[in-house]
Amino acid sequence: MKHLWLARRRRGFTLIELLVVIAIISILIGLLLPAVQKVREAASRTQCQNNLKQIGLAFHSHHDALQFFPTGGWDWTTPPTYVNGVPAVGADQQAGWGFQILPYIEQQAVWTGGQATTDFDRALMAIGAPIKTFFCPTRRAPQTVTYSLSGYLGGTNATHGLCDYAASNLDNTGVVRQFRPTRMADIVDGTSNTCMVGDKRLNLARLGQPQADDNEGYTCGWNEDTVRWTSQRPQPDFVGDPSLFGGKLFGSSHIGRFNMVFADGSVRSISYSISQTTFKALGDIADGQVIDLDGL
């Protein structure tokens, strides 16, 4: 009986053995976690590139249907324009490119205002819709902010669907321009040498709160919410002083690089170390500069 009792007792782990097992598991988790994070980021980067691919295709579908690209809208204070219940197009549409491409990314119901019965309610419905295609999964899931501003919508407390992408460029030399639309023939530098829409830089400390470049949302007219500089170098997202924002720059939460769709519909990953001269040339549709695309 004594020997049987000793045999049963020896079947368990000692404290030292248990600690060794825990240490080994911790080491394995420490080794695996970076790999898992890399796989997740690779998947998120691919999804972001697919979003931009869809946006690029929508720009081309818009051009095929109307013979011009979407505009950058009029101003940040201008909501989507409806005329007797029908969305205006081209120079008559005061909302930005994000609203104008809705029919071409399977968002026809949002574009037309759904079941709303007045043009104002149609605009509110469109403004408040979080469109999944407009969000980079590395940074966040689809998100909205709700607030009121005296200079916008008459001070109505409204929900705004946000956006992680911006068009080129605030210098008004790109494919997307304020007020007036551009046509394919206007891109004299070549569509493969001209960027169109890309990741925009944000202050991650302010996500989900109204900030200067992330409040009016994807329908916004000419404003840093939806249009950014190419005359200034891109920078990655940051976490900082709540009073700071993205500086009207392109950039993202991706490590080392950010994504842009070009006017030919191709999506490229661009280094944050790109020269200011090259980036400015990419954003201009007619500056005549020769660009080495292999150096992006």
What CA–CA distance (Å, rounded) separates 238 from 5?
63
Q: Which residues pair with 165 in a beta bridge?
A: 199
Least confident of 16-20, 65-69, 177-181, 277-281: 16-20
Measured in residues, the chain has a length of 296
Instruction: Give domain status of residue 9, yes or no.
Output: no
In a domain, 4, yes or no: no
Among 5-14, 167-176, 222-231, 253-262, the least confident range: 5-14
- Among residues 42, 16, 34, 59, the alpha carbon closest in space to that of 262 is found at 59
Q: Under 8 Å CB-to-CB from 268, ≥6 apart: which residues?
A: 195, 259, 260, 261, 262, 293, 296
Closest CA to 184 of 261, 260, 262, 263: 263
pLDDT in tens, 98-114: 999 999 999 999 999 98
pLDDT average, residue stretch 219-247: 95
Residue 3 resides in a domain? no
Query: What is the pLDDT averaged over residues 34-39?
Result: 56
**pLDDT category of residue 4 using cuts at 50, 70 and 90:** very low
Predicted pLDDT at 197: 98
Q: Is the residue at 280 inside a domain?
A: yes
Give the residue-averaged pLDDT of 224-231: 97
Residue 204, pLDDT score: 96
- pLDDT tens per residue across span 68-86: 999 999 999 999 999 999 9
| Assessment of whether the complete model's pTM goes beyond 0.75 | yes
Q: 264 falls in which pLDDT band (50, 70, 90)?
A: very high
Determine the structural domain holding residue 74 and report its residue range.
Answer: 15-295
pLDDT at 199: 98
**210 and 227 Cβ atoms separated by less than 8 Å:** no
Mean pLDDT of the chain: 91
Lowest mean pLDDT segment, chosen from 133-142, 168-177, 237-246:
237-246
Q: Which helix (H) or strand (E) holds 270?
A: strand 267-271
Segment (H or E) for 98:
helix 97-100
Question: Per residue in 55-68, pLDDT tens?
Answer: 999 999 999 999 99
* Span of 27-41, 42-56, 61-75 with lowest mean pLDDT: 27-41
Is 100 inside a domain boundary?
A: yes
Count of beta carbons in the 10 Å neighbourhood of residue 1? 5
Residue whose structure tokens are 């005296």: 150
The pLDDT, as a whole number, for residue 166 is: 98
Tell me how far apart the alpha carbons of residues 74 and 173 are, in angstroms, rounded to a whole number: 16
Residue 8 domain flag: no
- Percent of the chain with pLDDT strictly greater than 90: 78
Could you check whether the bond before residue 169 is cis, i.e. omega within 30 degrees of 0? yes
Separation between Cα atoms, residue 94 and residue 101, nearest integer Å = 13
The yes-or-no verdict on residue 293 having pLDDT over 90 is no
How far CA 114 is from CA of 120, 125, 218, 261, in Å, comes to 12, 7, 17, 29
Please, which pLDDT band fits residue 139 given cuts at 50, 70 and 90?
Answer: very high
Residue 292: pLDDT band with limits 50, 70, 90: confident
Number of domains in the chain: 1
In a domain, 1, yes or no: no
pLDDT tens digits, 141-151: 999 999 998 87
For residue 80 the two structure tokens come to 């989507």
Asked if the structure places residue 6 within a domain, the reply is: no
Statement: residue 5 has pLDDT above 50 = no
